[in-house]
Structure 1
C-alpha cells in the first residue's frame, strides 16, 4: 500500500509562545528553529506573529537569514493580519516569504469582532493575498474559530472556502481555536471539507482544552487532512496545543498508511531544550518525554521484562533516544534491583541481594524513592552490618534544637537486654546524643571510643531528600576503625553509625 505523505508544521515558536509566562529570546528562537528543521526534520515552522515587537522582528530576521543560506526559507512561516498591507511591509523587512493570514472562520467572530459582512471580509482578504503575491510572499490562510464555524455557521464556512478556492494560496489552515471539538466532529467536519475541495491543501490545528487534541489529530488524518500543526511539549495558550511527541508516536504506531519526515530520536532532546528555555518543567507522567514513562516501579514488571519482555509495548525508549529505568522503593523486587546493579556493573549473591532488597523496602517506606546512585551506599551499609551482633540497640531518642537554647538529647539504649536511659546537652544534636550515651557507659565504667573524623555524603546529583551516608572514624585505645550509617536524615544516619560502633566494642 502506498503511503500518504503529510506535512508537520511546528508552531512552538509562535503559538507555543502564547503559553502564559513564556517568551523566547532571539538566540533561543534561532537555536530552536535550527533544531526543528535540521535535526527534528519537521516540514515547516511558524516562528512569530507580525508587528509584535522589535525583538520579534530581530528574531525573524536572524532565522530567515539562516534559512535563506540553508535553502529553507520556504519552510519558515509568520502569522499575519488583514491590515491593508502593514503586515506585508513587516514581512518584507523581516525577510520572510510565507505568511499565514489570520481570517475569521466563524460567523460569530466575523459579526461580533470585525462587525463586517462576509463580502467585505473576503474583499479585504483578496487585496492582502494579491499584494503579497506581487511582493513575492506566499499565502496560507487561517480560518480562526473554524470548529465553531462548522458547528454553528456551516454555510458561511463553505461560502468562505468557495471564495478561497479562487485565490492563489498554498494551504488552508483549520484551527480548533478553542479546543472544543470531539473526535467524531473532527472526522465529520474535515472529511466533508476534503471531499468537497479535493484540490485544496488543508492543515488541522488542534488545541487541548478537553485533552482530546491527539484523538482529534488522528481523526483529522483519517478524514484526509494534508498537514498538522503541533508544538513541543504541547505548549500553547490555555491547555496548549496538540503535542508533537505524542502525535508522532501515534502516527508511526497506529496509522501505517501515513508517512512523515519527523525524526523520532530527536524528540526528547528538543523537548528538554524547550523545557530549559521556557522554565516549564515536563510533567513526570507526560507520554513519550516525561521522566516516568519508561520507568518500571513494580518489581513484578521488572521480573516480567526479564521473562520475554512481558511488560514492554511498542513505545521502546530507544526510539526516542532514551533508556528504560527501574525505580527503587517499597514496591521494588529483586528484579528491579538486579537491573540497576547491572547498569552499575555490580553483582551480589542471593543472600546479599535479599538483604539489600529488604533495606530498600524499609527506606522506601520513609522516602518517596531510592535512586540508582544510592545503591552503592545501601550495599556498603548492609554488608558493613553483616557479622555485627546486635547486643546493643538504641531503642529510642529525642533530639531538640531551638533558637536560644542549648541542643539536648534523651536516649534509651538496651545493652544485652537491660534498658538504660539518660539525657544530656551538647553543642549540637549529635553531640548531645553522644553525651547522653557517655553518661550511660560511664555508669557501666566503660569509656567510649573517641570520634576523630565525621564525614557526610550524598550520591552525586542527588537532591535535598537524598539518602545520606555518614562515615565516622573512631579511636579505641589507639586502634582506629570506621562505621557507616545510612538514612534520609543526616543525624539519624550518624546515630546508626554510632550504634554499629557500640556493638563492635
Structure 2
C-alpha cells in the first residue's frame, strides 16, 4: 500500500524570525534557505513578509536568484497582504513566485480589526488573487485566527472556505495563530473540514503556547491534512511554533502510513547552525536536539545499555547525526566509566575502575561537571595516589590575594600525626603556600625538594569551570620526579600535587 505524502513547509525564516530579539542577515537567510532545501529536504520554505524593509527585499531577491538557478523557485514562499496589489508588485520585483496571502479566519478579527463584512473581504481577496495570477504568481491563503474562528464563528469559516473553493489558489493554510487548540479540537476541526472539502489542499500551522504544538500537528496529520508548517528549534513568536525535529520524529515513528521527505540525519547540524545565527539557544533537554537528550546519567542505565540495550528507545541518536553519551558525575557507576573508557580506547582493571568511579562521585558531590575529556586526567591522578603511603596531609589552608598587598597563605600540615601551622607571603598564592610549607619543614629539620617545572593543563574544549591538572617536576639531590594534582581551582590542584610530593619523598 502506498503511503500518504505530507508536505513539510519550514517557516523559520518568516515566522521563526518573529522570535523576540532575532533578525537574520541576508547572507544568513540565504545559507539557511540552502540548508533547508538541499540538506534537510523540506518541501517548501516561507522566507519573509512583503514590504518589511529594504534589507528584507535584498534577502528575498538573493534567495530567489539562487532558487531559480537550482530549480527551487516554486518551493520558496512569501507572506503577503490584502493591500490592493502592493504586495504583488513587491514580490514581482524580488522574483518570488508563491504568495501566502494573509486573510482573516475569524469573524472577530474581521469585524474588530478590519471593520469589514465577509463580502467586502472576499471581494478584495479575489482582486489580489487575480492580480497575482496575471503576474504569474501562485497563491496560497492563510486564514489568520482560524482556530478561534472554528470555536466561535464556524459559519463564517465555512462561508470563507466555500468562497476559496471557487478561486484559483493552490493551498488553504489553517493556523492556530494564538496556540489555543487542544489535540482533540485540532483533530475534530480538521476532520470536519477534510470531510467537507475533500479536494482542497489543507496545511496546518501550529503554535506552542500550551506546549501542544507537536501533539496538535500529529492530530492534524491523523485528520487528513496535506501539509504542516514547522520551524527549526521551535522558533517563533511568544512560545514559538511546532518544532520541526520533534514533529518529524513523531510522524516517522508513530504514523507508518505517512511519508515525509525530511532528512533526519541533517536535523542536528542545521539546528545548531540556526542556533548560532539566531542566538536563540536550544534548551539542553529539548527532544532530539538538546545536549542532554542522548546522555545517560545513571549508572544503572549504562549497565542496561551494555546488556542488550535495555534503556534504548526508537530515538537512536545516529538517526539525527548524533552519538550517545554517558555522563560522569555523582550518579555514575562502573558501567558509565567503562563506556567512556571504551570510547577513549583505555583499559583499567576492576580495582582501578572502582577507584576512578569513587573519585568521579566525589567530584560530582562538589557539583563539578566531569566530562569524558577529563577522564584521562582523573585516571592519572588516582593511579598516582596508589604509589605512596599518605603520612603527610595538608589539613587546611587560607589563600588571600588582595590588590595592593602581597599574596599570603596560612597552612596547617599534619606530619605523622603531629600538626604544624605557619603563615607566609609570596609573589603569588602558590609561592606563599610553598614559603609557609618551608617554615613547617624547618621545624622538622627537613628540606623541601626544588621545584624545577610547573605546567597547567585543562582538557581540550573546556570552559572556565573545567577541571585543572597541574603537573610539577621536582628535584632532590640528582633525582627528578613528577607529581600531579587535579581540581577545578588551579592553585588547589598545585597544592594537591605538592602533597603527593611530600609523601613520595
TM-score tier by shorter-chain length is over 0.9
Distance 1:96 1:401 in 2: 64
Are the aligned partners of 1:107 and 1:149 in contact in 2 as well (CA < 8 Å)? yes
Distance 2:397 2:12 in 1: 56
Measured after TM superposition, the shift of residue 2 of structure 1 is 3.0
Cα deviations by residue, 1:351-408 (Å, 9 ceiling, x for unpaired): 1111111111111112332000001111111111112110111111111222222222
Greater mean deviation of Cα atoms: 335-344 or 475-484? 475-484
1:206 is the counterpart of 2:219:
no
Cα deviations by residue, 1:329-361 (Å, 9 ceiling, x for unpaired): 111111111111111111111111111111111
The two structures, once aligned, show a CA RMSD in angstroms of 0.9
SS in 2 for 1:159: helix
Measured after TM superposition, the shift of residue 448 of structure 1 is 0.7
Please show how residues 287-436 of structure 1 align to structure 2 within 5 Å. Answer: 287-436=287-436
Distance 2:398 2:330 in 1: 27
Greater mean deviation of Cα atoms: 179-188 or 420-429? 420-429
Are the aligned partners of 2:101 and 2:139 in contact in 1 as well (CA < 8 Å)? yes
Aligned match of 1:5: 5
Q: Any unmatched runs of 5+ in structure 2?
A: none
Distance 2:368 2:316 in 1: 26
Cα deviations by residue, 1:55-78 (Å, 9 ceiling, x for unpaired): 111111111111111111111100
Measured after TM superposition, the shift of residue 280 of structure 1 is 1.4
SS in 1 for 2:387: coil
Distance 1:108 1:212 in 2: 24
Aligned match of 2:129: 129
Aligned match of 1:144: 144
Measured after TM superposition, the shift of residue 478 of structure 1 is 3.0
1:61 is the counterpart of 2:72:
no
Are the aligned partners of 2:413 and 2:420 in contact in 1 as well (CA < 8 Å)? yes
Q: Any unmatched runs of 5+ in structure 1?
A: none
SS in 2 for 1:386: helix
Greater mean deviation of Cα atoms: 402-411 or 53-62? 402-411
Give the alignment's TM-score, normalised by structure 1: 0.99
The runs of at least 4 aligned residues of structure 1 exceeding 4 Å deviation read: none
Are the aligned partners of 2:369 and 2:466 in contact in 1 as well (CA < 8 Å)? no
Distance 1:34 1:205 in 2: 22
Aligned match of 1:167: 167
Distance 2:264 2:426 in 1: 60
Count how many residue pairs are aligned between Structure 1 and Structure 2: 505
Are the aligned partners of 1:423 and 1:436 in contact in 2 as well (CA < 8 Å)? yes
Distance 2:370 2:132 in 1: 60
Distance 2:413 2:344 in 1: 38
Distance 1:336 1:370 in 2: 12
Distance 1:328 1:293 in 2: 15
Aligned match of 1:440: 440
Cα deviations by residue, 1:78-107 (Å, 9 ceiling, x for unpaired): 000000000000011010110000000001
Distance 2:231 2:280 in 1: 14
1:279 is the counterpart of 2:271:
no
Measured after TM superposition, the shift of residue 54 of structure 1 is 1.0
